[in-house]
Amino acid sequence: MSCVHYKFSSKLDYNTVTFDGLHITLSELKKQIMARERLKATDCDLQITNAQTREEYTDDEAHIPKHSSVIVRRTPIGGVKPAGRTFIVDRSDTAVVGSSRPVCKTNPEQHFVLLLTSLSPTLSGFSHLS
């Protein structure tokens, strides 16, 4: 029996998928992981990356050698959709164009003074520490 060790990127421990032969195809590995983890193919897809080389397997017929370790990430069907908002960032001092908040043109020292001013009622209770 051959095996491939897999873990989800958010987990600490590896699990194992067993199979016959020297390698397993990416599509078969995904099917086995989804079955073991009780995931539905209609809900998500799996992104599989080699844990040592960080190579992402994208071809469903790609061969993953036995005793490999892979990192698994759940992704939405059809890939990640864009947020729908586009921001154009001008790196000069003039502006940021888009649907974001206005840019504050104060320097860092003014930010600190404003922060201390807004916190002054809270900080007055700590005057005995100075």
List the domain range (segments joined by +) for residue 69: 2-76
Percent of the chain with pLDDT over 70: 60
At 116 the pLDDT is 61
Is 47 a member of any domain?
yes
Is 58 a member of any domain?
yes
What total number of domains does the chain contain?
1
- The string of DSSP letters for 88-114 reads EE--SSS-EESSSPPPP---HHHHHHH
Indicate which CATH number applies to the domain containing 69. Answer: 3.10.20.90
Per-residue pLDDT tens over the stretch 3-54: 999 999 999 999 999 999 999 999 999 999 999 999 988 888 999 999 999 9
Average pLDDT rounded to a whole number, residues 80-108: 56
pTM for this entry: 0.59
At 25 the pLDDT is 95
Is 91 a member of any domain?
no
Is 105 a member of any domain?
no
Sorted by sequence, the CB contacts under 8 Å of residue 124 that are 6+ apart come out as: none
Is 82 a member of any domain?
no
At 113 the pLDDT is 60
Is 23 a member of any domain?
yes
Average pLDDT rounded to a whole number, residues 49-71: 94
* Closest by CA position to 74, among listed 29, 50, 43, 51: 43
